[in-house]
A and B are shown apart, each in its own frame.
Chain A
Amino acid sequence: MNVQHRWPGESRFHGWLYLLPGILIYLVFIFYPILETIRTSFYQWDGFSKNRIFIGFENYINLVGDSQFLLALFNNIKFIIFYTIIPIIIGLFLASLLGRKKLPGMTFFRAGLFLPQILSMVVVGVTWRWIFNPVFGPLNMGLRAIGLDALTHSWLGDFKLAFPSVGSIGTWVEYGFCMVLFLAGMQRISEDFYEAAQLDGANAFQQLIYITLPSLRPELGVALITTIIAALRVFDLVYVTTRGGPGESTLVTGFLVYRTAFLQNNIGYAAAVATVMTIVIFAIALIILRFQTSHQEEA
């Protein structure tokens, strides 16, 4: 930080030469479009005609009463159960079970558990559509093979089951990430804490609540931010597996933005949905970050 003084004979703006190319591309292709999305959300526009009609907050007023939008937003929030809560519980369970022991071969397990994170969500979606296929999918075939025909379903075609089915794909993607994250964090906790707790007669659950959880606060923050944002941004997976169906049962805001803007040409309204989606993501990220830093300052 402290080398930022000028060198002799150097222009005040020398640093700008280094910034300019990168920042320019960012400003033109990312930052300006963000502002333009917000501006567009105050207009009515079909995407073709020359004149956009300024309608103030009308798009936003309509959003509040739009059952489709509310359903999509609610589905994103329900996805947090599958993307965040279940993976974090699995991760904590495993971390507290394995504790701080260094296991030979852990690198291999870590690499495997992390694998879904690097795969294209289109590949993940294609794979799970096959697994869930009612006729030749391995899930139903397996159930039939062990005589549980009654449990076979049209997983992605059923109004009640499609949502938890797509959600469980999210759990499959995220739980290994949470495990790896928490196991790494466990290495930092001093064994003394656990020994002292055991002397005081604390059981495994108490050790989890009073030692593991507070010590893993930074990792919990990372897990929360990453997985909640993933739940709120779901698009590829829904596009590939269900396209929001059957009916609107797996509709999410990301898919609603795409459909409204590019299939229905209702540009202003789609921009309003996108703006709300972005604000929600920002707000949640900032709340978690604030929570994290305030605790760091206390410590």
Chain B
Amino acid sequence: MTRRLLKKLLPNYVILTLFLLIILIPIIGLIFSAFKTDIEVTKGPLALPSELRLENFQKAWITGRFNLFFRNSVVVTSVVVVASVFLSTLTGYAFAQLPVPGRKVLYPVMLIGYMVPFEAVIIPLYHFMNSINLTDTYWALILPQIGLSVSFGTLWMTSFFRSAPHELMDAAAIDGCSRWQVLWKILWPLARPAILTLVVLIFMWTWNEFLLALVMIQDETMRTLPVGLAFFQGRYSANIPLMAAGSLIVAGPILLVYIIFQRYFIRGMLGGAVKG
């Protein structure tokens, strides 16, 4: 029985594996290359590195200044994630549960932000930031990214709070809870899966954001990781092990979070788009 089943399923696994390998081989090749020397890398992308050599990472980290880019990315991303999730919780709660005069205008206005590309805002945004001397600061990256994230977050949290059970809240209200207490004591614990999804999505979008940082930052020491990597490539494009190590520093944190929370990533990206 199991053998027959296996025979039936085998072609499926073969095809799945084939499509999976097309995706994984470039990534595995990149990971291997990061540990190789210039000579080793010419032996082909899938040849194992002779040892776990960290020189390339050290060189990218210090000479390539990825230590600075990493710090910048961590600062920007953590502020954006915490602020956006907090603010989206408040706006989502208000749109779903509170009386909001003007909701019919405000809600669609918020949603526009979810669809626009950064290209639609970047030109005036740059001149605006420049006029108040905020280019080359974290603020130039943080504030617009919060604006964009709150737009999606509002959509996401509103649809969650609309589906929250009313009996609990009514009971809490009768017990004398304020609106604020209902939100944080009753709804927030229930919302954990929705909030975790929002956290990983905003983390990913902010960490990977490119155009905003490319335009707003001229000072090399203020660059974020993706922009740092793009400029790094301009200088060292022939040095594959070094480029690979730089790429892994950029992709590492997101890969780590993805390995732990992949269900939330996939659910969010499949579900978030449905509501787009």
Contact = CB atoms under 8 A, between A and B. Distances in A.
Interface stretch (A22-30, A55-63, A189-197, A199-207): A22-30
A218 B274 contact: yes
Nearest to A222: B273
B7 to A, nearest CB: 13
Given A118-B258, A136-B240, A261-B122, A225 B273 contact: yes
A274 B99 contact: no
B101 A12 contact: yes
A270 interface: yes
Contacts of A271: 123-124
Interface string A35-71: 0110010000001000000000000000000000000
B211 A123 contact: no
B119 A14 contact: no
Contacts of A31: 109, 112-113, 147
B120 to A, nearest CB: 4
A101 B9 contact: yes
A222 B274 contact: yes
A79 interface: no
A27 B247 CA distance: 35
A1 interface: yes
B273 A25 contact: no
B29 A37 contact: no
B94 A18 contact: yes
B226 interface: yes
Given A18-B98, A31-B113, A136-B42, A23 B166 contact: no
A7 B106 CA distance: 22
Contact of A7 (B126, B173, B273): B173
A80 interface: no
Nearest to B41: A136
A27 B112 CA distance: 11
A267 B215 CA distance: 14
Interface in B156-194: 162, 166, 169-170, 173, 179
Contacts of B138: none
A40 to B, nearest CB: 6
A112 B23 contact: yes
Interface in A96-117: 97-98, 101, 103, 109-117
B119 A278 contact: yes
A126 B229 contact: yes
Contacts of B266: 110-111, 114, 180
Contacts of B229: 120, 122-123, 126
B233 interface: yes
B123 A4 contact: no
A15 B100 contact: yes
A277 interface: yes
B38 to A, nearest CB: 10
A30 B94 contact: no
Interface residues of B, number: 98
Interface in B63-99: 87-88, 90-91, 93-99
A22 B90 contact: yes
A78 interface: no
- Where chain B touches its partner, the secondary structure class is helix
Contacts of B143: 25, 28-29
Contacts of B198: none
A118 B254 contact: yes
B262 interface: yes
A113 B20 contact: yes
Given A29-B143, A120-B210, A21 B90 contact: yes
Nearest to B96: A1
A172 B243 contact: no
A262 B215 contact: yes
Residue among B151, B215, B246 with the highest chain A CB neighbour number at 10 A:
B151
A188 interface: no
A88 interface: no
B204 interface: yes
Nearest to B128: A33
Contact of A30 (B88, B95, B116, B226): B116
A208 interface: no
Contacts of B52: none
A294 interface: no
Interface of B: 9, 12-13, 15-16, 19-20, 22-24, 26-27, 29-30, 33, 41-42, 44-45, 87-88, 90-91, 93-101, 106, 109-110, 112-113, 115-117, 119-128, 143-144, 146-148, 150-151, 153-154, 162, 166, 169-170, 173, 179, 204, 207-208, 210-211, 214-215, 225-227, 229-230, 233, 237-238, 240, 243-244, 246-247, 250-251, 254-255, 258, 262, 265-266, 269-270, 273-274, 276
Interface of A: 1-7, 10, 12-16, 18-19, 21-23, 25-34, 36-37, 40, 47, 90, 94, 97-98, 101, 103, 109-123, 126-131, 136, 138, 141-142, 172, 175-177, 179-181, 184, 218, 221-222, 225-226, 229, 232-233, 235-236, 239-240, 253-254, 257-258, 261-262, 267, 270-271, 274-275, 277-278, 281-282, 285, 289
6 contacts: A26-B110, A116-B23, A120-B251, A130-B243, A257-B119, A278-B119
